[in-house]
Amino acid sequence: MTYADTLKYLYKQLPMFSHIGSDAYKKDLTHTRKLCAYLNNPQTKFKSIHIAGTNGKGSVSHILAAILQSAGYTVGLYTSPHLKDFRERIKINGEMCSEKFVIDFTIKMMEQIKILQPSFFEITVAMAFEFFAEQKVDIAVIETGLGGRLDSTNIILPELSIISNISFDHVNILGDTLEKIAFEKAGIIKSNTPAIIGEALPETKPVFEAAAKEKNAPLIFAQENFYVQDFSYQHDFLNVEVVVVKKNEHHNYIVGLTGIYQTKNIIPVLETVHQLQLKNWKINQHHVEDGLKRVKQLTGLHGRWEKISNNPTVIIDVAHNVDGIKQITEQLELLAYRQLHIIIGFVKDKDITHALSLLPLTATYYFTKSQIPRALPEHDLAALATQQHLKGKAFPDVNTALQDARSHASKDDLILICGSVFLVAEVNY
């Protein structure tokens, strides 16, 4: 089997959430446990950090991995979904696992796949755990796929559990209130294991407190220990001033990610570093500064308010739910440009009308879709947008939309592509 053959087999044989939505979501950990048992439980052979959250968990995962790498550790990183190459999901020190490993693992697991009929996500989790164990990583940063309590990654016993934030997403699976969603995310909290909450709300704080009490887990609200006092742009970096509350210390960090929402993500990261230091992990201030500044180079993170070209400026961002779109509109208010062009597409199970209602009326819109079954057709999106008084045209794919936007934009304009991870993944650059 070639690498291409292997991916074709995995995509064809296994139900994928990105393609078919909730029908691919397995609401228990049985298959993951059985797959890992067959592999002699690789998840028990390395230390880990577990990260959940509605938004920000990908950025938090990558920043933490970068800091740990800077400190000299061999760091596994499991995230999802991927943008360009399946192997982006499984990295060690920023390097993707080899094509040969993916092929060999898949061949080895074919009989188990036939017997268990796992989801695509379940088999990739087992694959990541096997790779990290085989390569003897010092620690692996593991991002949940969806939720937490019943997420396939939730068979690990981590050093720390982190929940970045809670907002509305996947309400058909996780619940239609913040309390219900928080309950699912809080499912990653483990017995006697510190749990760090990046952003707590009045609705979610009691949920986290109850979960931690039940598990006898130390609960740390990062906002109580660190806060961002100020931030500014510095070329292609974000300059952030952070206050350490108990020491009344001020630290300035240059962050190699320019989305202002990173000012939220940096708080649970700094608290996590502090908790790791208490557990005798050798991380100093220089490692923190270096990891924050070089996160993209160290981990290969893409798609977070990322500039992909100039004249006109083209930005891609994987924001795909109401809270993410809200943060994007806040970012746009800080920027100077002549005219704004927004290329946008959603998958069907999002709160699309609410998201559209947040977008600026003065932008020119290019409604499009990713090439997956879950994508909302571009003409349906255009019709919903018209109800919100947004003006634009429909395009069959993101690159056709981008070509049209570039043809109508001046060099001082801004083109933004957002609304779906899968849409951003299809941008040619």
Tens place of pLDDT per residue across the chain (429 aa)? 999 999 999 988 886 645 444 454 557 899 999 999 999 999 999 999 999 998 889 999 999 999 999 999 999 999 998 999 999 999 999 999 999 999 999 999 999 999 999 989 999 999 999 999 999 999 999 999 888 899 999 999 999 999 998 876 555 667 678 889 899 999 999 999 999 999 998 999 999 999 999 999 999 999 999 999 999 987 789 999 999 999 989 999 999 998 988 999 999 999 999 999 999 999 999 999 999 999 999 999 999 999 999 999 999 999 878 888 998 999 999 899 999 999 999 998 778 999 999 999 999 999 999 999 889 999 999 999 999 999 999 999 999 999 999 999 999 999 999 999 999 999 998
Which residue type does 348 have? K
CA separation for the pair 405, 424 (Å, rounded): 15
Tokens of 189: 């909290």
Q: Are 266 and 242 in contact (CB under 8 A)?
A: yes
Q: How far apart are CA 260 and CA 142, in angstroms?
A: 24
What distance in Å separates the CA atoms of residue 71 and residue 73, rounded to the nearest whole number?
Answer: 6
Domains of the chain: residue spans and CATH: 3-299 (3.40.1190.10), 306-425 (3.90.190.20)
d(CA 378, CA 361): 19
The secondary structure of 43-92 as a DSSP string is GGSSEEEEEE-SSSHHHHHHHHHHHHHHTT--EEEE-S--SS-GGGGEEE
pTM for the complete prediction? 0.93
Q: What is the DSSP string of 189-251?
A: --TT--EEESS--TTTHHHHHHHHHHHT--EEEGGGTEEEEEEEEETTEEEEEEEETTTTEEE
Beta carbons within 8 Å of 169's beta carbon, 6+ residues apart: 54, 55, 181, 321, 322, 323, 350
The CA distance from 336 to 324, in Å, is 21
Give the count of beta carbons closer than 10 Å to the beta carbon of residue 192. 9
